[in-house]
Chains A and B, each alone.
Chain A
Amino acid sequence: QQPVQSPQAVILREGEDAVINCSSSKALYSVHWYRQKHGEAPVFLMILLKGGEQKGHDKISASFNEKKQQSSLYLTASQLSYSGTYFCGTYVRFNDYKLSFGAGTTVTVRA
């Protein structure tokens, strides 16, 4: 089942902050975050694992609340390069191959 992302879209000015949320109705093992710029392939940002381990981008932060089956991605002091569509993907087991993606959040950063 697809995780639910919110908001669907957000418009920011350079330097502003934003939070993107990802919620699941199932218990999760890990949450993955990707960003896709217009006309390009999705690019990996971060993995958050059950138990607190993280892998990924050191300039983007995220949290994973295992009890609530929620993850949040924090865009801090946004730059023009942050524009794109952000997708969360979730795994329910460590040996699961099916990464279920949310519908995406479109972020537009304006000068």
Chain B
Amino acid sequence: DVKVTQSSRYLVKRTGEKVFLECVQDMDHENMFWYRQDPGLGLRLIYFSYDVKMKEKGDIPEGYSVSREKKERFSLILESASTNQTSMYLCASSFGQGVPSYNEQFFGPGTRLTVL
């Protein structure tokens, strides 16, 4: 079974803190994604990566950065957390560099981040 794990299920941080969300997948997938999920808005893509050290902006990258130093690990960084970044963050991975539209994404359980 494909497994995507995220470092925390729940996280509480203060405004201005630097926040790291970690994601690890065990199926040697080329593609990894970070989404945020908010009620009524569905899942919105923050960043994605199709190879080690490669990253591309999604639809809502402002206030976030990412790092992919190893194939299995994709980190989301909030440089200075703000209250409007309180949300559920979902990591996903998929097989197939170059043809992501043909393959399903496997999601992690999510991290519910609260910024006070």
Question: How many A-B residue pairs lie within 8 Å, measured between CB atoms?
Answer: 70
Chain A residues contacting B105 (CB-CB under 8 Å) are 32, 34, 44, 99
A26 interfacial by beta-carbon distance below 8 Å:
no
- For A2, A44, A47, A97, which residue has the most chain B Cβ atoms within 10 angstroms? A97
> B42 near A97 (CB under 8 angstroms)?
no
Contact residues, A82-111 vs B (CB, 8 A): 87, 89, 91, 93-104
> A97 near B109 (CB under 8 angstroms)?
no
Q: Please report A residues at the B interface, Cβ cutoff 8 Å.
A: 2, 29-30, 32, 34, 40-44, 47, 49, 55-56, 87, 89, 91, 93-104
Q: List 26 A-B contacts (CB under 8 A).
A: A32-B104, A32-B105, A41-B90, A41-B108, A41-B109, A42-B43, A42-B90, A43-B107, A44-B104, A47-B104, A49-B102, A87-B42, A89-B43, A91-B100, A95-B98, A96-B101, A97-B48, A97-B56, A98-B45, A98-B59, A99-B33, A99-B101, A99-B105, A101-B42, A101-B43, A104-B42
Q: Please report B residues at the A interface, Cβ cutoff 8 Å.
A: 4, 31, 33, 35, 40-45, 48, 50, 56, 58-59, 90, 98-110
